[in-house]
Each structure stands twice: as structure tokens, then as C-alpha cells.
Structure 1
Amino acid sequence: MDKVFIKDLEIETIIGIFGWEREVKQIVRISLEMSFDISKAGKSDLIEDALDYKKIGKSIVNLVENSSFFLVEKMAEEIAKLVLKNKQIKDILLKVEKPGALRGSKSVGVNIFRKQ
């Protein structure tokens, strides 16, 4: 199956369990791969036959910016649910990272795989 991806989408949001994290926006980094048959778009060269990754990206930004999750696990589940509302997307491999959350580490986070 073909894959359409968005890599390293950075969004500022309230995320975390500690008091200071509930007051200060932090950056989360989101990457996703979506299974989507691109053959029709590859033949027609028409945007309406393609997966609109800009629309998907904007919807993820809107969700994350307007939420205040405690856990990256919950954020990941909600993003996956949102993306899979598009029934043409067969499955999603999603990575949600919280840079700087652990001293000495570039980032921490979760990878999840969900399907229709």
C-alpha cells in the first residue's frame, strides 16, 4: 500500500502532568504515515484525486493547539481518530514526540499504529 507522510510537524500546546506544564506551552513534534492508494492521483495529476495533506496537517494543528492533554499517549489516540475519519486512509503510523522532556534526551514520545 502506498504511503503519504507528514514529518516533524511542530505545534505549541499545553501538555504534561506537572503544574508548570499546565501553564507554559511546549512544543510537540508529530510525524505520521498514512496508507492511501495514490494510483488515481498518479494517473490523473489532479489534486482532487490525492490525499490533501495540507488539510490533514491543519486539522491536527487545530486539535493540538486547542487541547491541553496530560499525556502524549492520549494526544496520539485523538490524532489517530481524527485522521482516520477520512475513510480513504486505511491505517496510520503516528509518532508524537515531546522534545526536551527528559534531560540528556532529544525527545521522548510514543509510536502508535491504528487502522480502520
Structure 2
Amino acid sequence: MGDNSPNRDIVFIRDLEVEAVIGVFDWERRVKQRLVFDVEMATNIVKAAKTDNLEYAINYRAVADELIEFVSHSEFQLIESLVEHLSMKLNEKFGLSWVRLTVHKPGAVKEARDVGVVIERTFSSPMDDQGRLF
């Protein structure tokens, strides 16, 4: 769950691997490629910490499952499009106030160890999964 309070704690997921159809070349449209995601989400952990209750926390298992489901069934050409749509999907589902998403496309440039895109998005009206504003 997102939060508008001044505390900005970060819940993160690192190195989440997902296979997806991604790319502009014909051969890329016929095979799934490995993408690696890092996700950082702003929240206020105070209530979750005080109550020791998952209801007041961002459930990173649920976030990972949503990301895997979305990405594995997507067929974007550009990782820029994929990551932008993913940020909107995660906000819609989890009511985030802020997210930083990194997508790595290893092997896209053979001379480079890694390439990818990083985006940060701030959402003005975080909503819970019932569409209620915080």
C-alpha cells in the first residue's frame, strides 16, 4: 500500500528474472528473452512495523507475482514501453506513491555486460486495491 506521509521508506525487489517476447527484430519476436528487474517502492513502514501486520505493508511476493504475470504475457517491442506500462500496472494494483523500475536486457549489446532502462514515477493519488484514495 502506498502512503502520503513524509516518511519515505523503500521496499525493494532485486534481480527478478522474467522471460518475455521483447524487441524490434524479427528473430526477437519469435523467442522469449531473459529480462531482469529491480523494483523500488516508496512507503511508510511505521504502521506495518508497529502492528507486525502484512495488511499495512507492501507485499513484495504479490508485487513480484504481478510483475511476472504482466511481463511474461507482454509482447512490447521496446523495453521503454514495457517499463512505462509496468509502472502504471503496479500503481493501479498497489496504490504506490513512488516507484523506481530498472529493466536489464542482458546480451542486447554483445560488447556490453548489461543494458537497460531506469524510470522513476511519482503518483499523485495513491489508491488501494479497491480504488480508494489514501
Structures share fold, TM-score greater than 0.5: yes
Q: How many aligned positions are there?
A: 115
Higher strand residue share? 1
Check whether the contact 1:33–1:93 (CA below 8 A) recurs between aligned residues: yes
Q: CA shift at 1:75, angstroms?
A: 0.6
TM-score (norm 2): 0.83
Check whether the contact 1:84–1:115 (CA below 8 A) recurs between aligned residues: no
Within-5 A mapping of 1:1-116? 1-85=8-92, 86-87=94-95, 89-116=96-123
SS across alignment from 1:16 = coil
Kindly provide the amino acid, as one letter, of the partner of residue 52 in structure 1: N
Unaligned runs of 5+ in 2: 1-7, 124-134
Unaligned runs of 5+ in 1: none
Kindly provide the amino acid, as one letter, of the partner of residue 54 in structure 2: I
Check whether the contact 1:96–1:109 (CA below 8 A) recurs between aligned residues: yes
TM-score (norm 1): 0.95
CA RMSD of aligned residues (A): 0.8
